[in-house]
Amino acid sequence: MDPLTAAGMMGVAALAGVAGALFGIGGGIIVVPALSLLFGLDMHEAAGISLVGIVASSTGAASRYVGTGQANIRLAAVLEPLSVVGSLAGASLSLHAGQSWLAAAFAVMLAYSAIAMLRRKEAAIEPERARGKLAGRYIDGKTGQLVEYCPVRPARGAGASLLAGATSGLLGIGGGLVLVPAMNLWMRVPIRAATATSNLMIGVTGVAGAAIFLAAGMVPLAEAAAVALGAYVGASAGPALAARVSAENIRKWFALLLIGVAALMAMRAAGVLS
Partner 1 sequence: MSHAYGSKIVGVVLKACMAASIVALIIGLTLYSASPAPSSEIDVSSLPRGLLIGDAMAWLALGLLMVIAAPALRALAVLTVFLREREMLLAAITVATLTLLALAIWIGVNE
Q: Which residues bind partner 1 (CB under 8 A)?
A: 1, 3, 6, 45, 52, 55-56, 58-60, 62-63, 66-67, 69, 71, 73-74, 77-78, 80-81, 84-85, 87-88, 133, 136, 200, 203-204, 206-212, 214-222, 224-226, 228-229, 232
Neighbours of 143 (CB within 10 A): 10
Quote the least distance from Cβ 271 to partner 1, whole Å: 29
Report whether 231 contacts 57 (CB < 8 A): yes
CA-to-CA dists, residue 158 to 120, 133, 195, 256, angstroms = 22, 16, 16, 25
Quote the least distance from Cβ 120 to partner 1, whole Å: 28
Report whether 79 contacts 254 (CB < 8 A): no
Report whether 245 contacts 73 (CB < 8 A): no
Considering beta carbons, is residue 123 or 216 the nearer one to partner 1?
Answer: 216
Quote the least distance from Cβ 212 to partner 1, whole Å: 3
Residue 78 φ then ψ, to 5°? -70, -40
Amino acid identity for residue 153 in this structure: R
All residues at 6 or more sequence positions from 124 whose CB lies less than 8 Å from its CB, including other chains = none
Quote the least distance from Cβ 54 to partner 1, whole Å: 10
Considering beta carbons, is residue 200 or 262 the nearer one to partner 1?
Answer: 200
Quote the least distance from Cβ 255 to partner 1, whole Å: 28
Radius of gyration of the chain (CA): 18
Cite the DSSP H helix spans in 120-220. 154-171, 176-181, 191-215
All residues at 6 or more sequence positions from 217 whose CB lies less than 8 Å from its CB, including other chains = none
DSSP conformation letters of 68-122:
HT-S-HHHHHHHHHHHHHHHHHHHHHTTTS-HHHHHHHHHHHHHHHHHHHHHSPP
Report whether 148 contacts 137 (CB < 8 A): yes
